[in-house]
Structure 1
Amino acid sequence: MELRVLNYFLATAQELNMTKAAEKLLVSQPALSRQIADLEDELGVKLFIRKPRQLILTPEGRYLQEQAKEILTLSEKTKRNLQSTTVISGDLTIAAGESIGMQRVINIISDIIQDYPMVKIHILSGDYTFAEKRLNTGTVDFAVIIGSLPLNNYYSLKLPETDRWGFLVRSDDPLASKKYIEAKDVINRPLIVSQQVIERNLFDNWFGNYKDQINIIGTFNLNFNGILMVKNRAAIMLTLDNLANTSKESGLKFVPIKSTITSPINVIWKKETTLSPVAQLFLDRLSASIQVE
């Protein structure tokens, strides 16, 4: 598959109309139709269901659309990084979950873009599954991972910071007056937790005998929407410290759980991968920041 043809396919998949896609690409409609037909012949699958005035992506077409975006992103990133010479430039891309450890990462990034104005930074927010997928496809240089997770397939650098677990509640909630929260305190309370907590059963032992009485009503990937639910009295939120504004004016309070459960923070990158100059610079500065503490 040629990159040019993948660009043609993506434009067609976006417009779902061959004429409009051809106009966007500045090619003739018959030429574009032939390119798409040749691509389908090459792959041995139909990418579109053809209607008189509209195209519909097949399941195979939707899969290729997702993969083509990753391939073209990686291609463009590789091109920019190869074009950098003695002056450090190019793209530094990091996939990260929400964590207090990101402050250290942001500090390093801020220094780099001050010293090397030609560097472009891209930070993608998401959970472990999101970050791992992009790291494996090569569309990010590093991933910041929160929690005790299997990292044998990657190089890793553990950050000194740790994240503390607890509950985010409204300041007028009875739980807000507690020094810490036990599992029995949240029996039958509407509770939202991160998707990672569910997928990895992180709190099954902590819930203990009360597990069947814990009312988990939903999940979230990023904290912002969960915080809105807490503010609206829809739920309380099992989350990490330092991820929400808990000033007096916020109307929110973070109360740690009784057992001191913390999550380590690791920066990981693929083995047997040659880092770009800017990625190596980031890693060197991150390592140095840890060693001086």
Structure 2
Amino acid sequence: MELRVLRYFLAVTQYQNMTRAAKELLVSQPTLSKQLADLENELGTKLFIRGHRHITLTEEGQYLQSRAKEMVQLADQTTANIRKNQAISGTLSIGAGESIRMQRIMRIISNIVQDYPDIKIHLISGNGDEMEKALDHGTIDFAVFMGHRDLSNFNYLRLPEVDQWGIIMLKDDPLSNKTAITPQDLLGHPLIVSEQGLQEHRFQDWWGNLNQQMNIIATFSLPFNAQLLVENTGAYMFTFDHLLVNSHQHHLIFRSLSPKLVEPITIVWKKNTIQSKAAQLLIKRLKTTLNK
């Protein structure tokens, strides 16, 4: 598969129309149609269902779409990273969950961009599983994990900061009068819990033998929409401290857990991979701050 043809394929999936895609790509429609037909022949499968006005993807086409995006992104990033040999330039792609403890990394990135204006930053939000997958596929340079994970396949630096778990609830909730929330406080109440935290049994030791009595009504990956759900249901949301969005602060409040529950923060990158100069610079500067 040629990158050029993959770009053609992605344009068609974006516009769902061969004529418009050809116009955007500055190629003739017959040329575009032939390239995609050749791609289907090469793969031995049908990628499109061609309707009168719109084109939809087959199951195989949907799979190719996800992988083609990764391949094109990786090619573009690699090209940008090696295009200028005399100066440090290119793209730094960093995937992470939401945490106020990203401040250390963001300060370093800010300084790097000021010192090397040709470096561009690409930030991607997602849970640990998503970021590890992106790292394995080479579509990001670094992943930042919040919590304990198997790091045997990665190079990594553990940050001194930790994330602390707590509960977001309505400000007028009776439990808001407490300075910290215990497992017994939550019995019989509706709970909204991090999907990754639940899958990795982060709360098992905290609530102990009360596990079966916890009423989990919803799970989430990132906290913004979950906070809207708290506002509308009065449920209790497990999340890290300092993630309460400003627009929700009129109605919601955060309370830490008792006993305390904290998570380590680790930045990781692939082993046995030659890092770009920009990536090497980030690692070097991060190590400098950790050694102070």
For normalisation by structure 1, the TM-score amounts to 0.94
Task: Summarize deviations over 1:110-139 as a string: whole Å, max 9, x none.
Answer: 111111111111111110011111111111
Deviation at 1:53, TM superposition (A): 3.3
Task: Summarize deviations over 1:229-280 as a string: whole Å, max 9, x none.
Answer: 2233431111111222589964433222112221000000000111111111
The match for 1:3 is 3
- Residue ranges of structure 1 left out of the alignment (5+ in a row): none
Distance of aligned partners of 1:246 and 1:60 in 2 relative to their CA distance in 1, 3 Å threshold: closer
Equivalent residue of 1:101, what SS? helix
| 2:161/2:264 contact within 8 Å kept | yes
Task: Summarize deviations over 1:165-192 as a string: whole Å, max 9, x none.
Answer: 1111222211111132111111121111
Distance 1:209 1:104 in 2: 37
Alignment of 1:84 with 2:84, yes or no, is: yes
| 2:170/2:234 contact within 8 Å kept | no
Structure 1 counterpart of 2:48, one-letter code? F
Deviation at 1:55, TM superposition (A): 2.0
The match for 1:47 is 47
The match for 1:203 is 203
Aligned-pair identity in percent equals: 50
Task: Summarize deviations over 1:25-71 as a string: whole Å, max 9, x none.
Answer: 22222211111111011111110122333322000000111111111
Distance 2:234 2:66 in 1: 35
Between 205-214 and 123-132, report the one with greater CA deviation.
205-214
- Residue ranges of structure 2 left out of the alignment (5+ in a row): none
Between 182-191 and 203-212, report the one with greater CA deviation.
203-212
The match for 2:25 is 25
For normalisation by structure 2, the TM-score amounts to 0.95
Task: Summarize deviations over 1:67-98 as a string: whole Å, max 9, x none.
Answer: 11111111111001101223211111100111
| 2:47/2:60 contact within 8 Å kept | yes
Distance 1:291 1:251 in 2: 41
| 2:16/2:56 contact within 8 Å kept | yes
**Superposed, which structure 2 residues align to 1:8-157 within 5 Å?**
8-157=8-157
The match for 2:275 is 275
Task: Summarize deviations over 1:210-240 as a string: whole Å, max 9, x none.
Answer: 2222111111111111222223343111111
- Give the superposed CA RMSD: 1.8
Deviation at 1:19, TM superposition (A): 2.1
| 1:100/1:162 contact within 8 Å kept | no
